[in-house]
A = this chain, B = another copy of it.
Amino acid sequence: MRPQVSINADRLLANLRTLGQIGGRPGGGVSRLALTPQDLAGRRQVLRWMEELGLEITIDALGNTVGVRKGLSELSPVMTGSHIDTVDGGGIYDGNLGVLAGIEVLATLDEHNISTKRPLAVAFFTNEEGARFAPDMMGSLVFEGSLDLETALATVGIDGTTVAQNLDAIDMRGTAPCGKPDVHAFIELHIEQGPRLEREGITIGIVEGVQGICWTEFELDGVSNHAGTTPMSLRHDPSVLVGETIVFARELTKHHPGVQLATVGSVTLKPNLVNVIPRTARFTVDLRNTDGVALDQAEQATIDFVYRQARAEGLTVRHRNLARFAPVAFASSVVDRIEAVATSHGLSNIRMPSGAGHDAQVLARCCPAGMIFVPSLGGISHNPREHTDARDIESGANVLLHALLELANA
């Protein structure tokens, strides 16, 4: 069952490839870090497409760019969009799909002479990736108001220059007020960046919210000693507690409320020699859960475990929080509508959290927001091998089209 009005998948894919060649690398992959000359070239291409549609384009002081298609009313627009900056050696879909699908939706409406009650807007936000300037989602944070514009402009990047200097260098420091236009509702189409949809053979992910994140770094001090001459009963071996905590964290994910994720991605032992009991261990625990209370409990349980076991092994512990984001719940009005559209299109769909951060979670603070996920082959992203099948891109863009239409006419 195909919807009556559909996007032009060939054009959308061609545009993705065109944009993907800007900053493209000989061996594959794209490097268009925020506010670089490559980013400028990408912005110019997207601005050209926006201009061809006759959108009213505004650029704010951080380079956030919005193109508005007039509605039948002067009400606040329904917005879609994402980002076009990439990591160093990323794929052509992450972010870019959300922006170009938005442009494709507006082009389709033009071709079918479809007007909407509310204006429709497509936006791309500066420096979503955070690969050159921290924090990530910088543009949407300034647009939404959580991050002060002056702070963002003064941010020093990995090459020692500021956001302001780079905005000026590419002449993308605009004059539009940050946070304008007011947004009635926001939907972002994005690749999943995880393996679940592909593995489960599902086309559309109805994103209910974004997981909360808690990163904890533990530093353990033990007593370095000879692996041959130190009886087990006299050891104070930090590596044992690293192992116990890895096992604890994996077990936690099996029993903890909500969908609890746990990753120990970084372990550093010193001196890290085969026959020496380590003196120190530093390791991280990345905990995620869509349920904020459960996440806090998981964090506390992990900290309690480490301190308890450290006493048993005779270690001293320090810990610090490296990152903490509360879970975001998207507005049911938007989530339900996306789900209804996907279902009415005959597309398999499932409600799921987003494991990664996205501009939509920031926009969710100032308007009802939601996201549409399409499958990532192998769950791979931030990698030249990032891929989403053409049919899934088409399906996702059509769900975006009709969800936007419904919101704009409601």
Interface residues in chain A, defined as those with a beta carbon under 8 Å from any beta carbon in chain B: 192-196, 199, 211, 213, 215, 217, 225-232, 234, 237, 239-240, 242-247, 250, 253-254, 259, 261-269, 272-278, 284, 286, 288, 322-323, 354-357, 379-382
Besides the contacts A194-B230, A240-B264, A242-B267, what 4 more A-B pairs have beta carbons closer than 8 Å? A211-B228, A225-B379, A228-B354, A265-B273
- Asked whether A199 and B286 contact (CB < 8 A) given A243-B245, A267-B242, A277-B263, the answer is no
Q: Is the interface of A mostly helix, strand, loop or mixed?
A: mixed
- Asked whether A286 and B227 contact (CB < 8 A) given A273-B266, A274-B215, the answer is yes
Alpha-carbon separation in the docked complex, A286 to B275 (Å): 6
Determine how close the nearest CB of chain B comes to the CB of A48; give it in whole angstroms: 32
Q: Is the CB of A229 within 8 A of B192?
A: yes
- Asked whether A196 and B231 contact (CB < 8 A) given A226-B379, A286-B274, A379-B226, the answer is yes
Q: Could you say which of B231, B274, B354 contacts A322, with CB atoms under 8 Å apart?
A: B274
- Asked whether A243 and B250 contact (CB < 8 A) given A194-B229, A215-B274, A265-B276, the answer is yes
- Asked whether A266 and B272 contact (CB < 8 A) given A243-B242, A288-B227, the answer is yes
| A–B pairs, 15, beta carbons within 8 Å | A196-B229, A225-B380, A227-B265, A227-B355, A232-B261, A239-B263, A240-B264, A242-B243, A243-B247, A244-B247, A263-B275, A263-B277, A267-B267, A267-B269, A267-B272
**In the complex, what residues of B have CB within 8 A of residue A356's CB?**
226, 228-229
Alpha-carbon separation in the docked complex, A354 to B275 (Å): 15
**In the complex, what residues of B have CB within 8 A of residue A250's CB?**
232, 240, 243
Q: Is the CB of A195 within 8 A of B230?
A: yes
Q: Is the CB of B234 within 8 A of A195?
A: yes
The complex is assembled from copies of this chain, and their number is: 2
Alpha-carbon separation in the docked complex, A149 to B8 (Å): 80
Alpha-carbon separation in the docked complex, A116 to B181 (Å): 104
- Asked whether A246 and B239 contact (CB < 8 A) given A225-B195, A379-B226, the answer is yes
Determine how close the nearest CB of chain B comes to the CB of A66; give it in whole angstroms: 28
A383 — nearest CB in chain B belongs to which residue?
Answer: B224
Alpha-carbon separation in the docked complex, A253 to B199 (Å): 41
Determine how close the nearest CB of chain B comes to the CB of A191; give it in whole angstroms: 10
Determine how close the nearest CB of chain B comes to the CB of A322; give it in whole angstroms: 6
**In the complex, what residues of B have CB within 8 A of residue A286's CB?**
227-228, 274-275
Q: Is the CB of B225 within 8 A of A237?
A: no
Determine how close the nearest CB of chain B comes to the CB of A358; give it in whole angstroms: 11
A237 — nearest CB in chain B belongs to which residue?
Answer: B263
Q: Could you say which of B253, B261, B264 contacts A228, with CB atoms under 8 Å apart?
A: B261
- Asked whether A227 and B261 contact (CB < 8 A) given A196-B234, A240-B250, the answer is yes
